[in-house]
């Protein structure tokens, strides 16, 4: 299937590893030129070079912290006029409700709500001028079914989801589609860190923590980031022109809900 986005230009935030990288690679495979971002310059440079070689697309890199205002300024300067924006950042740490103070919430809101909103605010106007644009926000299954230990994430992502629900309807008449992509457990460094956290806290091995968690997923395993990237590319495609403000869950059936 030709997704019809060859030659478009995309900013993919937090894309040197994991789900962001998978989205960048899937877009590059469709002939999309990229702006990639992460804080660590080395992995970013390695992965961007690999993508250029493998897919023959143009790739610019912006090493910065997407959650900081300075980082957002840098990204916005380079990314003016992009057709596609994929918002992503690291997730907040797990804990108990008693652990979290105001500063922890501010940090989580900056990373997982206000950073994507700042980038949308800055980059939507040119998409609207062109009459075509796609935004995919990587959020989490926790938007539909809370993960108790990820209260910071649950809170911040709920805020972003509310913003997208309204804004996506305001920009849809101008050919711009904003949707959210909700990962369940995927095989990335993030899930390794969460399993290690469970293991350290519960006195069980890493493997036991992983097996216990995976046994709760109907497909019995973690998702493959490559499949996640392919869904992201579809949401950025010409065929996603009738999808507005949706929350697309990729979780192996983990969220036990009828709708
Ligand atoms: P990951 O494997 O740890 O990769 C995170 C990527 O984001 C890296 O490239 C990292 O590079 C970059 N990054 C992190 N913080 C950044 C920042 N402040 N500014 C710029 N780049 C940053 O994580 P992942 O599993 O792909 O997760 C991506 C998002 O999906 C997270 O928000 C996570 O909470 C959410 N999620 C993941 C899962 C899962 O199972 N994997 C499930 C639900 C939700 P640097 O460290 O060099 O900056």
pLDDT tens-place string over residues 101-118: 999 999 999 999 999 999
Mutate-to-test residue for ligand 1 from 190, 193, 213, 250, highest number of ligand atoms within 8 A of CB: 190
pLDDT tens sequence for the chain (259 residues): 999 999 999 999 999 999 999 999 999 999 999 999 999 999 999 999 999 999 999 999 999 999 999 999 999 999 999 999 999 999 998 899 999 999 999 999 999 999 999 999 999 999 999 999 999 999 999 999 999 999 999 999 999 999 999 999 999 999 999 999 999 999 999 899 889 989 999 999 999 999 999 999 999 999 999 999 999 999 999 999 999 999 999 999 999 999 8
CB of 20 shorter than 6 A to ligand 1 = yes
Ligand 1 neighbour 37 (Cβ under 6 A): yes
Q: In terms of CATH, what superfamily is 9-184+224-249?
A: NAD(P)-binding Rossmann-like Domain (3.40.50.720)
Q: For 59, list phi and psi in degrees, rounded to 5.
A: -135, 120
Q: What is the DSSP string of 37-98?
A: EES-HHHHHHHHHHHHHHH---EEEEES-TTSHHHHHHHHHHHTT-SEEEE--PPPPP--GG
139 lines ligand 1 (CB under 6 A): no
Residue 194: the pLDDT is 86
Q: For residue 142, which of 153, 127, 132, 131 has the smallest C-alpha distance?
A: 153
Structure-block tokens of residue 36: 């990639």
Cα 93 from Cα 115, distance rounded (Å)? 17
- Dihedral in degrees, nearest 10, Cα atoms 105, 111, 116, 121: 70
Question: Ligand 1 mean position to 123 CA, how many Å?
Answer: 22
**Atom in ligand 1 nearest the alpha carbon of residue 68:** 18
222 CB neighbour count, 10 Å cutoff: 19
Whole-angstrom distance, CA of residue 61 vs CA of residue 137: 19
Residue 190 pLDDT: 86
Domain ranges of the chain: 9-184+224-249, 186-222
Dist CA 48 CA 88 (whole Å): 17
The whole-number pLDDT of residue 34 equals 99
Which residue has its alpha carbon closest to ligand 1 atom 24? 18
Q: Quick count: other Cβ atoms within 10 Å of Cβ 136?
A: 27
Which of 13, 14, 250 for a ligand 1 pocket mutation test, highest count of atoms within 8 Å of Cβ?
A: 14
pLDDT at residue 94, rounded to an integer: 87
């Amino acid at each position: 299937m030709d997704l019809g986005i060859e030659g478009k230009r995309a900013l993919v935030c937090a894309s040197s590893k994991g789900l962001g990288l998978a989205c960048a690679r899937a877009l590059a495979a469709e002939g999309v030129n990229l702006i990639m971002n992460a804080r660590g310059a080395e992995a970013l440079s390695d992965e961007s070079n690999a993508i250029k070689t493998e897919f023959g697309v143009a790739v610019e890199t912006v090493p910065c912290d997407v959650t900081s205002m300075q980082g957002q300024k840098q990204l916005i300067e380079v990314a003016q006029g992009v057709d596609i924006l994929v918002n992503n950042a690291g997730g907040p740490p797990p804990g108990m409700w008693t652990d979290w103070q105001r500063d922890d919430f501010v940090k989580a809101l900056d990373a997982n709500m206000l950073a994507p909103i700042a980038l949308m605010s800055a980059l939507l106007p040119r998409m609207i001028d062109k009459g075509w644009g796609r935004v995919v926000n990587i959020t989490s299954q926790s938007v539909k079914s809370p993960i108790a230990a990820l209260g910071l994430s649950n809170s911040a992502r709920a805020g972003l989801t509310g913003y997208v629900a309204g804004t996506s309807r305001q920009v849809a008449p101008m050919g711009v589609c904003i949707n959210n992509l909700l990962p369940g457990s995927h095989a990335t460094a993030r899930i390794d860190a969460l399993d290690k956290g469970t293991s350290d806290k519960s006195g069980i091995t890493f493997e036991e923590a992983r097996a216990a968690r995976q046994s709760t997923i109907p497909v019995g395993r973690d998702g493959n980031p490559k499949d996640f990237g392919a869904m992201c590319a579809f949401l950025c495609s010409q065929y996603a022109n009738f999808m507005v403000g949706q929350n697309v869950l990729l979780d192996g059936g983990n969220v036990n809900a009828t709708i």
